[in-house]
Chain A
Amino acid sequence: MAQLEVDVVAADGKVWSGAARLVSAPAADGDIGILAGHTPILSVLRPGAVRVVPAGGGAPLSWHVDGGFLSVDSDQVTVVVDAVSGSGGTAPTGH
């Protein structure tokens, strides 16, 4: 199955990078979930939680971001965040 190549970057360094099955982010018009094969998109992010489900079934990761933007281009996902907190802790269940 196709995977997403995900980079989560902040101004002072890379936060996380790797292969993922699903990325969800608080886009401008509502939360967005991205799976492999998503159409290219550039979106502004609202403050909220960015969640990444790693490929190969690890525990999902979650960060709280203050804003930023997200770009998807041929399964290459880049999440650019201004300030990030909650250093990749396991996402609360029930999403």
Chain B
Amino acid sequence: MAGQQRVYKARIKSTQSLKKMFRAQELIAASRIGRARGRVTMATPYSRAITRAVSAVATHSDVSHPFLVERDDTKRVAVLLIASDRGMAGAYSASVIRETERLVQQLEESGKEVSLFVSGRRAVAYYTFRQRELAGRWTGSSDAPTPEVADEIADALLAAFRAPADEGGVGEVHVVFTQFVNMVTQRPRVIRMLPLEVVEGVEPAGEHDALPLYEFEPSPEEVLDALLPRYVRTRIYANLLQAAASELAARQRAMHTATENAEDLIRTYTRLANQARQGEITQEISEIVSGADALASS
């Protein structure tokens, strides 16, 4: 009987230390999420400026650019998956990986070959465990992405898109990431990054508004050439930031639930331990009483 009490005590203790860890993770995620959302806000002016400029070029001149047209010389497509470096975020990585798997299957069914670019240690581990080939991998900064990492990823993807077909060039680039809707909802999303479709930003001019006639320096082609890689970079950076905010929100919620579950467990075990102690006392009393009875009757 005393053994049982000890078992419960040990369980309570280990659950308590787990709870402390969950709580700490929750607080860390909560404090970082503010910063992550701040970073999203900080990046907004830049991406807005780029988007406006790109749409201005696209609407005011009829230049074409390799990034804007479909490639039909290759069947390869690139998929960029943005997941997290660490677990303890509930279904965050699992659901974005599942979304990627669905997309890959869809693409393969329509006769495409997929090369995977993966960001985040969890997703890298998932694919290396299954011995799937990865065309590119980035780890180490999933909850606080920097523009430099975004540049690296964008450079790799753009290089793949520019490469000729026989050197592994890809015809499309898709990105799977988790969109941060709010603290409670984060949605895995698939977007096609390349070829680009630029429509947002500039409102269609009314009939009477004269469109501003931009001068392009040195030339519309070169301006577009300089703008589009930056545009892709900003989009990828924005996606990384969204994913980071989602990861932290998911972690905060998962850890909050885990803390509550740990509290529930502790409560259950405390009750069981109390019961065991009570049972032990009752048993001891009845032993003493029956011992005394036996002595008295002899």
Contact = CB atoms under 8 A, between A and B. Distances in A.
B295 interface: no
Contacts of B52: 71, 78
A41 B234 CA distance: 22
B215 A41 contact: yes
Interface stretch (B109-117, B169-177, B217-225): B217-225
Interface stretch (A6-14, A56-64, A86-94): A6-14
B181 to A, nearest CB: 23
Given A40-B212, A73-B212, A13 B43 contact: yes
A12 to B, nearest CB: 5
A12 B43 contact: yes
Given A10-B46, A12-B147, A69-B223, A80 B214 contact: no
Most-contacted residue by chain A among B213, B217, B223, B234 (CB, 10 A): B217
Interface in A24-68: 27-29, 32, 39-44, 67
Most-contacted residue by chain B among A14, A39, A67 (CB, 10 A): A14
B180 to A, nearest CB: 18
Contact of B49 (A32, A39, A78): A78
Nearest to A13: B42
Most-contacted residue by chain B among A13, A74, A82 (CB, 10 A): A13
B216 A11 contact: no
Contacts of B150: 11
Number of contact residues on B: which range applies?
20 to 34
B39 interface: yes
B86 to A, nearest CB: 23
A69 B45 contact: no
Contacts of A43: 216-218, 223
14 contacts: A11-B147, A11-B150, A12-B39, A12-B43, A12-B147, A13-B42, A13-B43, A13-B45, A27-B217, A28-B217, A44-B218, A67-B226, A69-B53, A73-B214
Contacts of B39: 12
B97 to A, nearest CB: 28
Given A9-B49, A12-B42, A42-B53, A69 B218 contact: no
A61 B227 CA distance: 26
A67 to B, nearest CB: 8
Interface string B199-242: 00000000000001111111000110011001001100100000
User: What secondary structure prevails in chain A residues at the interface with B?
Assistant: strand
A40 B213 contact: yes
Contacts of A71: 49, 52-53, 56
B217 to A, nearest CB: 4
Given A42-B217, A71-B49, 10 more contacts: A11-B234, A12-B39, A13-B43, A28-B217, A28-B218, A39-B215, A40-B212, A40-B215, A41-B216, A42-B216
A78 B201 CA distance: 15
Contacts of A82: 230
A80 B230 CA distance: 10
A50 B217 CA distance: 17
B157 interface: no
Contact of B45 (A14, A39, A41, A42): A14
B226 A69 contact: yes
A44 B227 CA distance: 8
B56 A14 contact: no
Nearest to A78: B49
A28 to B, nearest CB: 5
B118 interface: no
